[in-house]
Amino acid sequence: GAVVSQHPSWVICKSGTSVKIECRSLDFQATTMFWYRQFPKQSLMLMATSNEGSKATYEQGVEKDKFLINHASLTLSTLTVTSAHPEDSSFYICSARADRGEELFFGSGTQLSVL
């Protein structure tokens, strides 16, 4: 099956710093990528839809200026958590859909801990 690589798998940072998370589709081109946030023992909450070459579409309640998404190529999308605070600590998961595909392929997730 298709592979989505997400890095880093975990990161610890100080409050006020920015953290970048990368999501790459390794063996297919992904016009659309999705970023999810997951709290412990809860479902995935869609944060934004990332489209190659255009601005991301954010879900209601998600701060665009805090969660910067860039989809510069058909195989790479990045999520930058700017000026991170402890409440941003969470598990972030990216996913990608191949062109003309139905299912999503998921990265392994990034556990962010903000001290």
Partner 1 sequence: AQSVTQLDSQVPVFEEAPVELRCNYSSSVSVYLFWYVQYPNQGLQLLLKYLSGSTLVKGINGFEAEFNKSQTSFHLRKPSVHISDTAEYFCAVTRYSSASKIIFGSGTRLSIRP
Residues within the interface to partner 1 (CB under 8 A)? 1, 4, 6, 31-32, 34, 41-44, 46, 49, 91, 93, 95, 97, 99-109, 111
* 15 vs 30: CA distance, rounded Å: 33
By beta-carbon proximity to partner 1, the closer residue of 31 and 82 is 31
CB distance 69 to 35 below 8 Å: yes
In the complex, least distance from residue 2 CB atom to partner 1, rounded to whole angstroms: 10
Which residue, 42 or 83, has its beta carbon nearer to partner 1?
42
Q: d(Cα 80, Cα 11) in Å, to the nearest integer?
A: 12
What six digits make up the tokens of 75? 């195989």
Residue 95 CB, nearest approach to partner 1 (Å):
8
Q: At closest approach, how far in Å is the CB of 83 from partner 1? A: 26
Residue 88 gets which letter from DSSP?
Answer: G
